[in-house]
């Protein structure tokens, strides 16, 4: 079935469809490693920036604070992060990445590289770099 040209040539629609496809593939691939996108976001953020309060993690990952609590509960139960009272302010928790979390992050990095290669297979390396720059500009 052929779609109307005005649909086929609408960049916002194409971007939305590509995003839905990529999101579905990422979700499926992470599920094979018993993980979710938010798990990856938290682990990657802690790895890059070090221990953080829940508020800082929420801001850096763009995960709503109420949703982040559930994600942290899951990661804590799996031994991938640790929560501890902040010595400077006992009302806050500081979240720290564990060795188990670092190992999971390495595994998830590999999973995501494979998905990236699958989703962007039709593009050359140069086109992938250009697309990344364009998307970054749109989101700036």
Task: Give the total number of structural domains in the chain.
Answer: 1
Instruction: For residue 134, give every residue at least 6 positions away whose Cβ sits within 8 Å of its Cβ, in sequence order, or none.
Output: none
Residue 4 lies in a domain: no
Six-digit token pair at 122? 């039709």
Residue 97: strand, helix, or coil: strand
Q: Encode pLDDT of 27-86 as tens digits.
A: 999 999 999 999 999 999 999 999 999 999 999 999 999 999 999 999 999 999 999 988
Strand bridging mode 52-53 / 81-86: unpaired
Q: Supply φ then ψ for residue 88, to 5 degrees.
A: -80, -25
Q: Give the DSSP per-residue string, 48-75.
A: HH-SEEHHHHHHHHT--HHHHHHHHHHH
Q: How many CB atoms neighbour CB 93 within 10 A?
A: 19
Residue 41 lies in a domain: yes
Domain limits for position 77: 11-139
Residue 47 lies in a domain: yes
Residue 79 lies in a domain: yes
Distances (CA, A) of 68 to 47, 54, 74, 92: 17, 8, 10, 14
Residue 1 lies in a domain: no
Instruction: For residue 84, give every residue at least 6 positions away whose Cβ sits within 8 Å of its Cβ, in sequence order, or none.
Output: 93, 94, 96
Residue 19 lies in a domain: yes
Average pLDDT over residues 15-22: 95
Global pTM reads 0.87
Q: What does the mean pLDDT of the chain come to?
A: 94
Residue 3 lies in a domain: no
The share of the chain scoring above pLDDT 90, in percent, equals 84
- The rounded Cα 57 to chain-centroid distance in angstroms is 13
Quick one: pLDDT at residue 1?
Answer: 59
**CATH number of the domain encompassing residue 46:** 1.10.10.10
């Amino acid at each position: 079935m052929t779609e109307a040209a005005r649909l086929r040539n609408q960049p916002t629609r194409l971007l939305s469809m590509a995003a839905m496809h990529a999101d579905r593939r990422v979700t499926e691939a992470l599920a094979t490693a018993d993980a979710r996108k938010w798990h990856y976001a938290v682990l990657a953020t802690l790895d890059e920036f070090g221990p953080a309060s829940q508020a800082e993690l929420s801001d850096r990952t763009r995960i709503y604070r109420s949703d982040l609590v559930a994600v942290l509960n899951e990661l804590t139960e799996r031994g991938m992060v640790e929560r501890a009272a902040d010595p400077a302010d006992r009302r806050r928790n500081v979240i720290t990445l564990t060795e188990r979390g670092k190992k999971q992050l390495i595994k998830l990095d590999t999973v995501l590289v494979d998905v990236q290669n699958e989703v962007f297979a039709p593009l050359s390396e140069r086109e992938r770099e250009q697309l990344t720059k364009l998307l970054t500009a749109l989101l700036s």
